[in-house]
Amino acid sequence: MNKTSQWLTVGLMLLATGCQSGKKANNNQPPSAPKKPIAVALSAEDFVQGEGEISNAPTDTHGTVITQPATTQPATSSQTSGLNASKTIAATYHVAGMVGQVNGRPIYAQNIFKDVHERLTDLGQRLPQNKFRQQASTLLQGRLQQIVMDALILGEAEKQLSQANNTGILNFLKEERKKLIRELGRGSEELANERSRTTSGMSLDQRISERRNQIIVQSYLKEKLWPKINVSRKDIERYYHDHFEDFNPPQTRTIHMIRTRNDNVANQIDKELTRGRSFLDIAGDNVLNPRDWEKKGLFGKDIKGNPFGNDALNQATLTLGVGQYTPRMKVGSMHTWVYIDSVTQDQAHSLREVQLEIERILKQQQYNNYTEQYQKRLLDEGSYNDMQVMHKRLMDICMSIYVAQQ
């Protein structure tokens, strides 16, 4: 255990689930009663995955994971991977924090928490319990849904994986593994494993397994969804015209103003301007421009188009170059002068110049839409435990860990 890790005293809910691999869990069935909380100390290292993800944990005839009593002798290394950095838990339980299953595959608490541990730790230290619960609930719900979705897609993808594709992927992964050993361990597999766990929380085998799943899912989605995508020339032209300012950004200006209701002051301003006194100097004079003298009459930066509600003032302003100002104009009861301090004009792009970029944007939009529809169908038809039940179990663990000190 890294001595610099921050230890948190917690009551960890060790929840075992009886998951049916052939159908989604019945929402009407009450969840099993949670096991009695065990006081342990956890750090980020406790969420490091162990070899095999305790896939060989003992189960009863209904598929429920069996936990060992506290008097049991320490389990072997192949059994103790739930929270593998905690020897207390490893010696007491074969599995810690299994919250559900998807397609018959277990979902472990550490897989949910390991990527959000630092964020939850920070929130738990800063927020009161009720606000922490709200933010943690949203965070864990998103993580849970993503893990379930990834597993559902992987299950679909593996069904379609041909022997030839599988062989090609395995050959690619062999080279990836050799590359990791060279980069992380300078040729030493043992050193590479150690550094891999330190930097990513995963062994080499687990990183390669995760990479395999990514390749399979990405290839499957591309093969399944990409042929549906069609972007026409009219689609590109429509997008260009609908987003014309994105490709042809309008001129922006920094504008200063002098305004006064006093006729005598207005006459004095004209005299000062005629004598050659700078506009900004006058605008910063608290006698001649008492309204906004502190900021030298700054009206605004990056101003586009017609900023004023007076057409004559807008028209006069548009004719100005940098360092120029309008003559005195009467706007309502105010004597008004407008000055242009700077002008910015970003580069404009023709349709021909950006058509490939627009095509890429539109294809990505269609791909995202098809992916969202596909994911919704998988969630509707997939085999996994009830999301609310799994989320509840995660929140039990979360509140035990991250707010135990409050």
Q: Are 207 and 196 in contact (CB under 8 A)?
A: yes
Among 346, 329, 345, which Cα is nearest to 337's?
329
Q: Are 18 and 79 in contact (CB under 8 A)?
A: no
Q: What pLDDT, on the 0 to 100 scale, is given for residue 270?
A: 94
Contact (CB, 8 A) for 258 and 289: yes
Backbone angles phi and psi of 179, in degrees to 5:
-65, -45
Among 285, 294, 302, 311, which Cα is nearest to 341's?
A: 302
Instruction: Please report the pLDDT score of residue 178 as a whole number.
Output: 92
Task: Please report, for the chain, the start and end positions of each structural domain, with discontinuous segments joined by +.
Answer: 8-224+382-402, 250-344
DSSP assignment of 14-69: -------SSSPPPTTSPPPPPPPPEEEEE-GGGGSPPGGGGTT--B-TTSPBPPPP
Q: What is the pLDDT of residue 31?
A: 40
How many residues are listed for the chain in this entry? 406
CATH architecture of 250-344: Roll (3.10)
Q: Report pLDDT for 359.
A: 96
Q: Residue 97's pLDDT is what?
A: 66
Q: What averages of pLDDT result for each successive group of 10 residues across the chain (406 residues)? A: 35 34 40 37 40 36 31 32 36 52 85 85 89 94 90 89 88 92 91 88 86 90 91 96 91 92 93 94 91 90 88 90 93 92 89 95 94 90 89 87 64
